[in-house]
Structure 1
Amino acid sequence: MGILDQLKNLFGSAPSVSQPPPTPEVAATAPTPPQERRQAPRIDACMGTRAIIIDDSKTVCTVLRKFLRSAGYETIECLDAEKGLTALQQHGADVVFLDIVLPGMNGFAALRAIRRDVNTRDIPVIMMSGNEQAMEQFFGTRIAADDFMKKPFSRQEVFFRMTRLLDPSGVPRRAAHPLAHSAAEGSAANNAPTQFLRAS
């Protein structure tokens, strides 16, 4: 039994998302069905809540920015980890979306840098990847991320992950037990995907 099968047994089923073919990233723009909006009501951000998106795909950055800004988040997009860490130091953030496979410094190294720095160590981090080897390494090492999203993901999935991190005042906080129930609950968030990202 492979490591992913072992992890599925440990954490529950991963979010039900089809594995994308190895083609350039594509964003589809189907309208959001009313049924999905009823199933997962969006929780808007408190004024001034900032998200930093670190992903080398401009498509991922653009669509995540659209999702988050529609809910009142301020966003900063960075195409590599070095620029993302600089932006985090200069501007601060309430949550970070961090791709694993990046040019130069990868997402694992970037997360270690975030957790080592006293100024950033308490910022919640949601890691992302559609790369099977990166996912195996992620779950195998159980590094200190607060959640994980498998690409491709939908708008509903993004807000499901965000809602899990919000405190009573609507501000993202670090998960008490990062990833312990992430995979099992994540399947419920992907029943009606509407806008997908295909990216590594």
Structure 2
Amino acid sequence: MAGFELIKRFFGSDPAERRTAPRSGVPKGALILVVDDSATIRAVLGKMLSQDNQVVLKAPDGETAIELARKECPDLIFLDIVMPGMNGFAVLRALRRDPLTRHIPIVMISGNLQATEQFYVQRFGADDFMKKPFGRSEVFARIQHLTQSGRLVVGERAPQETVTGEPEHSAAEHAAIPDIAMPDPHDLILPPGGSS
């Protein structure tokens, strides 16, 4: 038993304690939207985030994701690329064009091995890319990177629309928002049997 205690002191704690311990550099209480057509991915990623004291919203498709993003203004979105109906690129384009959601950091996720996906993600407005399958350390490394770069600030919500229906942006803020051209998702060529 003394050997186990020595190992425990050397490594800090047992795995169950490490899972619930706060991660340095990762803000607590972030509202995070997980968008994936796979219920398993939504559940696994949601559990990882919830165990780290994050508040998780889940959407099974692109249309629901846009609706939730507009309504709840999450601090961060994990967005699958390959989904039936509205794919992740179309969702990304819609979110970046909307004044209420264009500021939200977005991490695209996909199991497709095509390097072109990562190119499109980086070029057309996503903040990061995460390949499936992923582990806890990768998920929290992405969040920590966004936090350290100043891109993820918990509690910073988009300006709400006023009674007149105009967004509350100053002229300088509005001019600083880039107009992002997105590829037409129908132009993307995926290999036969490409997975999400």
TM class, shorter-length: 0.5 to 0.7
Matches within 5 A, 1:72-151: 72-133=53-114, 135-140=115-120, 142-151=123-132
Q: Write the letter of the residue equivalent to 1:96.
A: I
Larger RCO (CA under 8 A, 6+ residues apart): 1
TM-score scaled to structure 2, two decimals?
0.63
CA deviation after TM superposition for structure 1 residue 171, in Å? 2.7
- Alignment partners' CA distance in 2, 1:156 and 1:88: 25
Corresponding residue number in structure 1 for 2:145: 164
C-alpha contact 2:118 2:129 (8 A) present in aligned 1: no
C-alpha contact 2:32 2:78 (8 A) present in aligned 1: yes
Indicate the larger mover: 122-131 or 137-146: 137-146
Q: CA offsets per residue over residues 77-124 of structure 1, 9 Å max, x none?
A: 111010011011111100000000011111001001111011110100
TM-score scaled to structure 1, two decimals?
0.62
CA deviation after TM superposition for structure 1 residue 140, in Å? 4.6
* Gaps in structure 1 of 5+ consecutive residues: 1-31, 174-198
**C-alpha spacing 1:161/1:104, structure 2 compared with 1 (3 Å):** same
Q: CA RMSD in A?
A: 2.7
Q: Write the letter of the residue equivalent to 1:92.
A: C
* Gaps in structure 2 of 5+ consecutive residues: 1-12, 157-194
The count of aligned residue pairs is: 138
Segments of 4+ moved more than 4 angstroms: none
- Alignment partners' CA distance in 2, 1:74 and 1:157: 19
Corresponding residue number in structure 2 for 1:52: 33
Q: Which has the larger radius of gyration?
A: 2
